[in-house]
Chains A and B, each alone.
Chain A
Amino acid sequence: MFKNEENNLLNLKERYGQVNVPLEKLDQAIQSGFERGKSKKVVINHKRKYWMWPSVVAAVLVLGLLTSIRVSPTFASYVKQVPGMEKIVELVRNDKGLLAAVENDYVQKIGISQVKNGTKVTVDSVIADEQGIVIFYTIKMKENRHNLRVENVNLQPTNGDKLPEHTLEFGHPAHEGEKTYTDTLVYFFNNPLKQQDFKLDIKVKTKEISEQFSIPFSIKKQENTKQIYNLNKTVNIEGQKIKIKKVTIYPLRVAVNVEMDPANTKKILDFEDIRLVDQHGEVWSKILNGVTASKVNDEECTLYLQSNYFKNPKELYLVINKIQAVDKDEAYLIVDTEKQQIIKQPKGNLLANIKKEGSSLTFTLNTKKDFRYFLFDSFVDANGKEFYINVGSSGFNEKKQIVSLTLPSEKYTNPIKLKLEFYPSWIEGKAKVRIR
């Protein structure tokens, strides 16, 4: 009946069979899409002393890839002249503060290696302040290796002291089958770092090899590298009161201590839009790829922003525009995994279609836009026993957000209560506090 149309369509198909295909670019696109997918699979490690919000980390990583910061032409040409500098800039280009640290010669060259059976690990350089240390390192392998993993990372002061309480981030995804891998190990400490001499233990594993390395190195003394502003000013966003207690500007990042008013009706889940702005309107936003906040307790936390330490503007403001928040008395979800039933959830019924398959529990979340946060990280079962959710993901597919989590293998009793860590519900305002 429609022979003509059908033939036309088939001819059109033929034509697309003849177009030039940029095969190499396609492979690269697949690789980067895959890496993005991988880095967003949130794996939560509960043994950390600090509280991390890894889903935020993962969420903004993607953004970071799209909005990396532009480098000035003079700096760009300087970068090309210094061996190894390009790699460093590549690794910090999502962070204005770190980039400025590189630009201002704040990088300490190390260049110490250890070789084992043809695999060489080099500590290339570090950027350090009294509160943190970013270690740039490279792994060079004899042949192309697969499934590269870095394990048992341990930084130890040589004098036998213990490191202060800290967070550690690493594990930039490796390209499959390459010989060289460069990454950063990012440590942030709870207390100022006093030591200068360290030994870095690191295990390199691939499908083919497994080697333990131990590399000694020293850094310059880090003192008086911070500016503290005690503010104690309270802002009000849709009736929720938030006290900005203190802003501390370090070379590596800016820490903002905030305290929520216990009388607030909403539980603050995440400061989605918080930024530093100077008199010219230049913005330093949240850390895009790394620890974005640490929790002191339910009402108090520290948020981390990219550092303007090297810029030293005349006027500086803290601006808060958008906060993820949910009513305190409904900041949780109760489900029965066996009956596949949602018993209670925040008003609006955004969650639906609960489904359990093996150890996987999935929901749909009714959001207009991709909600790049993972909703939960633990639950309490009917007997009051707490369980951690180690793997979860949240993805957007055909106009639906699918939230999935892996249930623990230990026995739990239904129904279970999942505390909301993130939720697509916001309060907005225009709070501005002068820092200096």
Chain B
Amino acid sequence: MMEGLILEGKSLVERAIEGDDNAFLTIMYDHKLPLYKTALAYLKNEDEAIEAIQEVTFRAYRNIHTLREPEFVKTWLIRIMINYCQNYIKKNKRVTFNDDYLLRQGKNEDYRFIELEEAMSQLDDKQRQLLHLKYFHDVKIKEIAVMWNRPEGTVKTWLNKALRSLRNILEEKGDKGRV
């Protein structure tokens, strides 16, 4: 994972943790796409997603010294982003689902995705975060377990619960649709 990033015996992330600004910026630029997509998935609004990038850069910079597992820097950043987005949505008390954005991006067949997204937004914060990390960013269960300080088995159970909740929400919708 760190290939090409090793310099002077220390990884980029290790240097950033020690306060090397250039290393920090490089990390941010390296992870801007997954961060932006996370923001977009939660906020559904380009301007707000960009603002989120700024805020997350700020928070990451101020807290990078607290990062204990340099190899999980990507997940660490994405979690900061998810926390920011979840708080932002709560603070603004708005309906999280706004299909304008995706509709503008694509065509009619996307209705399926809109339903899925709506269902995602109805999950509780932890479940949504879990699905997001696992399926959007391919974060391994093992890594999530370390980050959350829980046994792998527990995380697996949560993941199954999250998928089940998602299925229930979608099925409930489908039923209503058919009435």
- Chain A interface (Cβ within 8 Å of chain B)? 1-2, 4-6, 8-13, 15-23, 25-27, 29-34, 36-38, 40-41, 176, 360, 362, 393, 395-398, 402, 404
CB-CB < 8 A to A8: which residues of B? 112, 116
Q: Tell me if A27 and B113 are in contact (CB < 8 A).
A: no
Set of chain B residues within 8 Å of A362, measured between Cβ atoms = 66
CA distance A402 to B102 in the complex (A): 37
Taking a contact as CB atoms closer than 8 A, the residue among B50, B80, B131 that contacts A26 in the complex is: B50
When the two chains form the complex, which single residue of B28, B40, B65, B105 contacts A34, counting CB atoms closer than 8 Å? B28
Chain A facing B: main interface SS: helix
Interface contact A33-B58, CB-CB below 8 Å: yes
Q: Are B66 and A11 in contact (CB under 8 A)?
A: no
In the complex, A281→B75 CA distance in Å? 48
Q: Shortest CB–CB separation between residue B131 and chain A, in angstroms? A: 6
Question: Within the assembled complex, what's the spacing in Å between the Cα atoms of A209 and B127?
Answer: 53
Question: How many Å lie between the Cα of A5 and that of B168 in the bound state?
Answer: 11
Residues of A within 8 A of B61 (CB): 33-34, 37-38
With the chains together, A13 CA to B136 CA distance in Å? 5
CA distance A2 to B116 in the complex (A): 14
Q: Please state if B63 and A397 are interface contacts (CB–CB under 8 Å).
A: yes
Which of A13, A18, A19, A402 is close to B135, meaning CB atoms less than 8 Å apart?
A: A13
9 contacts between A and B (CB under 8 A): A9-B131, A15-B102, A16-B41, A18-B105, A23-B32, A37-B59, A40-B62, A402-B63, A402-B66
- Alpha-carbon distance between A13 and B116 when the two chains are bound, in angstroms: 11
Given known contacts A2-B166, A34-B24, A37-B62, what 15 new A-B pairs fall within 8 Å (CB)? A5-B167, A8-B112, A15-B105, A16-B37, A23-B32, A25-B50, A26-B36, A26-B53, A29-B50, A33-B28, A33-B60, A34-B61, A176-B25, A395-B63, A398-B79
Q: Is the CB of A29 within 8 A of B57?
A: yes
Contacts known (A27-B32, A30-B28, A397-B63); A12 close to B116, Cβ less than 8 A: yes
What is the CA–CA distance of A2 and B166 in the complex, to the nearest angstrom? 10
Q: Binary interface profile of B, 57-101, with partner A (CB < 8 Å = 1, else 0)?
A: 111111101100000000000011001000000000000000000
Please list the residues of chain B having a beta carbon within 8 angstroms of any beta carbon in chain A: 21, 24-25, 28-29, 32-33, 36-37, 40-41, 46, 50-51, 53-63, 65-66, 79-80, 83, 102, 105-106, 110, 112-113, 116-117, 131, 135-136, 160, 163-164, 166-167, 170
Closest to B163 in A: A2
Nearest-neighbour CB distance to chain B for A403, whole angstroms, equals 11
Residue contact B58 to A36, C-beta cutoff 8 Å: yes
Could you tell me the distance between the alpha carbons of A9 and B170 in the complex, rounded to whole angstroms? 13
Instruction: Please determine whether A397 and B59 come into contact, CB atoms closer than 8 angstroms.
Output: yes
Could you tell me the distance in whole angstroms from the C-beta of A320 to the nearest C-beta in chain B? 28
Given contacts A9-B135, A13-B135, A16-B40, contact A397 B54 (CB under 8 A): no
Bound: A362/B58 CA distance, A: 19
CB-CB under 8 A from A395, the residues of chain B are 59, 62-63
Is A22 touching B46 in the complex (CB atoms < 8 A)?
yes
Contacts of B57 in A (CB 8 A): 29-30, 32-34, 37
A285 to chain B, nearest CB (A): 23
Kindly provide the distance from the CB of A259 to the nearest chain B CB, expressed in whole angstroms. Answer: 36
Q: Indicate the member of B21, B33, B36, B112 with the most A CB atoms within 10 Å.
A: B36
- On whether A33 and B83 interact (CB within 8 A), knowing A9-B116, A15-B113, A38-B21, the answer reads no
